[in-house]
Amino acid sequence: MQRIATLVLILWAGAAPAAAQEERIVVEVERVIERITELRHRIHEYPELGNREFETARLVADHLVGLGFDEVRTGVAHTGVVAVLRGGRPGPVVAVRADMDALPVTEDTDLPFASTVRTTYLGQEVGVMHACGHDVHVAVQLGVASLFKALQAELPGTVVFLFQPAEEGPPPGEQGGAALMLAEGVFDEFQPEAVFGLHARAGLDVGGIEYTPAGALAAVDHFRVTIRGEQAHGAAPHLSVDPVVTAAQTITALQTIRSRNLSPLAPSVVTVGIVRGGTRFNIIPGEVLLEGTVRTYDPDVQDTVERRMREIVDGITRAAGGSFELEYDRITPVVINDRDLSAWAVQVLGDVVGTDRVSLADPWMAGEDFAYLANEVPGFFYFLGTQKPGTTSGGHHSPTFRADDGALPVGVRAMAHLVWRYLDGR
């Protein structure tokens, strides 16, 4: 924390990075960007789900070894890659993280490198797509690694590149993501004093950057409610305990948690994303599954939602004569951007893209397991504009999401400047 405060004071005092170093970064970005764009296209065209990023990890490792990295580890947290670059000048250790996994979404874009990959997910055949921009994240980080390797003799300190699997969550019954990387000791071994990460931002034009100090992204909870009744013929509902009707009442009632049990000023979301039950149109089934997510920024709000959810489901199912089972898991905590580090980083980003292109964003109810890394050391997580100016991109996790290649050089320059200037104490 003392170093971060010092960085802020130095920058506020008017110190600027060496012009030669700034120019070298720009030159190196121009040198590597064509290859980085090709890699991004390949990653996008052949996406892989969490804990199954075998080919993506191989591509990443091969590129790093080809650059001349001496320390490249694979198989971290199943399919993760960790690469270490030790600069020729003394300095601290900083970690940079990019997530590699895609989503079970069927792509609907006209990109020449659009994904046509299909796989099986939770027993269903699905398309696979980088519908959240993780291909951009990996490409940007490979770009930073490429130019830092070229400038290794001048690099002050050590950079630990984390290529992380399963940010969207591991398959049921498996561990994964940032939490598993930490459990396997990646921070214990290298002991970085700060960690940086970025995320593509749909709807923000290329060249723009957004950030949120303190709480930036929400805590993510996952719930599964199994409502059990009595199966009967659809023409004889009086002989059943109908879990479909009970489920419908439950879905509606769960929304009263947000509207009637929590302060209007406390951000929260309760969403039922899966309703599954029944085998035939004229059979009232014996059970129905509800599955969804809760997003919050406050542990007390989180506790209230879980408690009220259990009370509501219990009351409705007992009134119907049925029963229930509730599984409630807290998946990831809130992403906290260190305030001092954020204040310093925003100044640096303004130097890169222009202060008018760096804007303050409201907290987002999406979740990010970068939170685990930023809970260990001071972290800064920001958003990179990926929308081609004059167009409209699809939203995150949608089949029409598209990120423009023009975001890549901006992303590489922004992250490279952040990391280098942090290492250099400027």
Instruction: State the SS3 of 314-341.
Output: HHHHHHHCCEEEEEEEEEECCEEECHHH
What pLDDT, on the 0 to 100 scale, is given for residue 2?
Answer: 53
Architecture of the domain whose range is 2-217+334-423:
3-Layer(aba) Sandwich (3.40)
Please, what is the Cα angle at 131 between 330 and 301, to 5 degrees? 25
Q: What are phi and psi of 307, to 5 degrees?
A: -65, -50
CA distances from 314 to 100, 254, 308 (A): 40, 12, 10
pLDDT at position 8: 43
Provide the terminal-to-terminal Cα distance of the chain, rounded to the nearest Å: 15
Return the SS3 of 371: helix
- Residue 266: other Cβ atoms inside 10 A: 13
Closest CA to 38 of 391, 408, 412: 408
Model pTM score: 0.92
What pLDDT, on the 0 to 100 scale, is given for residue 20?
A: 72
Extents of the domains making up the chain: 2-217+334-423, 219-331
Q: What single-letter DSSP state applies at residue 259?
A: I
CATH of region 219-331, choose from 1.10.3720.10, 3.30.70.360, 3.30.70.920, 3.40.50.720: 3.30.70.360
pLDDT in tens, the chain (426 residues): 555 544 444 444 434 444 677 789 999 999 999 999 999 999 999 999 999 999 999 999 999 999 999 999 999 999 999 999 999 999 999 999 999 999 999 999 999 999 999 999 989 999 999 999 999 999 999 999 999 999 999 999 999 999 999 999 999 899 999 999 999 999 999 999 999 999 999 999 999 999 999 999 999 999 999 999 999 999 999 999 999 999 999 999 999 999 999 999 999 999 999 999 999 999 999 999 999 999 999 999 999 999 999 999 999 999 999 999 999 999 999 999 999 999 999 999 999 999 999 999 999 999 999 999 999 999 999 999 999 999 988 999 999 999 999 999 999 999 999 999 999 995
